[in-house]
Structure 1
């Protein structure tokens, strides 16, 4: 059955979902609907998406489900979309961060679902600490004992997503700040060009004057001369400016789609298409 469920991973991706909004004949969506939902014609797309998500919550809690739960419970439930920024799939050294929350501090959340292996966890955590000083593993009850035995004497936090889809209060270890591995080059590579220019202008009041060939290296050289914690905090300030979203429109997005829409940078046309899609009867 697990292999049959893999198509659910594709449904909650930006490419497939936005194709669905503009093309009622999307193959992935039609396959999923026909496989997992009964009485199709009587329901609108919003109801169908909700039923699919309900199946995932009980039988196939994939990475999207974990990420969407974190976004709803932490960004929207504990913090505020106006004061906190979430990022996803950020390359850090040889790894990619699943989920990052930035407000006064930044926390990297590495997701390990019950469907995942823990084989690369150690490498991923070491990579994340080169760019961020708070790291947390979010996992299932089935992985908890193994993760705890590995990480109990480390600064890494542990959150467990229970079978009731809440973050356990009893199986929880909060992350502790660890600045010992912060690496100028790894942090610099997380930044976009305009972001590192903003940092250099703020700190030095000027940018390097050099040929285009040497410009990147000269910027990195100047960045590496800033005290590491100052460079880190200015980096967080820049990263926090990313992922600005229309709050009024976002509040209308169903719980099941919050993460997908938040990270997709929707245009005005996308917001309108989403509203139309959700209210339309299947195949209508």
Structure 2
């Protein structure tokens, strides 16, 4: 998923929207604070997968609701070691979720929630603005279904 200047490495939609950010030993963590500010508003659950070289720094940077998985090198193999289980994020924003969709997908929202048909002439930003009056759970359900 591409969100402005940040693109999550893996996004899974299966009842919830769960993002995975991967930081290998060749990555630096300079972009991580900006990525976190986006991901905190988008994902219901977030997990960072890190090389051992980043682990100590990561535990002091990422929010407490993020899960942490450590990649350990074992000879010619890798092992994923859960270090912290993630929790549900309560900061998810309606606007950010709605902006994930193309205009054509948002137009379907008009029919599903019985908005006036004339709204199909509106620009994407105006549709997003209008739809924010819906409950978060309704927006989640619609967006997640569209993303599958």
Residue 101 of structure 2, aligned match among 191, 196, 220: 191
Determine helix, strand or coil for the equivalent of 1:139: strand
Matched with 1:162 is 72
**Per-residue deviation, 1:102:** 1.4
Structure 2 portions without partners, runs of 5+: none
TM-score (norm 1): 0.47
- The Cα offsets for residues 200-246 of structure 1, whole Å up to 9 and x where unpaired, read as 322x234541584x332442133111112321232112111xxxxxx
Name the CA distance, whole Å, in 2 between partners of 1:189 and 1:205: 20
Q: Does 1:237 align with 2:114?
A: no
Determine helix, strand or coil for the equivalent of 2:95: helix
Residue 209 of structure 1, aligned match among 89, 93, 118: 118
Matched with 1:92 is 3
Q: Which protein shows a greater Rg? A: 1
**Per-residue deviation, 1:150:** 2.4
**Per-residue deviation, 1:189:** 1.7
**Contact 1:207-1:219 within 8 A present in 2 as well:** no
In the alignment of these two chains, the number of paired residues is 145
Tell which has more relative contact order, 1 or 2 (C-alpha 8 A, sep 6+). 1
TM-score (norm 2): 0.84
Residue 110 of structure 2, aligned match among 190, 200, 224: 200
Residues 60-75 of structure 1 mapped to structure 2, 5 A cutoff: none
Indicate how the Cα distance of structure 1 residues 207 and 194 shifts in structure 2: closer, same or farther if over 3 A, else same.
Answer: farther
- The Cα offsets for residues 226-267 of structure 1, whole Å up to 9 and x where unpaired, read as 112321232112111xxxxxxxxxxxxxxxxxxxxxxxxxxx
Larger relative helix fraction: 1
**Deviating runs (4+, > 3 A) in structure 1?**
none
Larger relative strand fraction: 2
Residues 4-153 of structure 1 mapped to structure 2, 5 A cutoff: 90-151=1-62
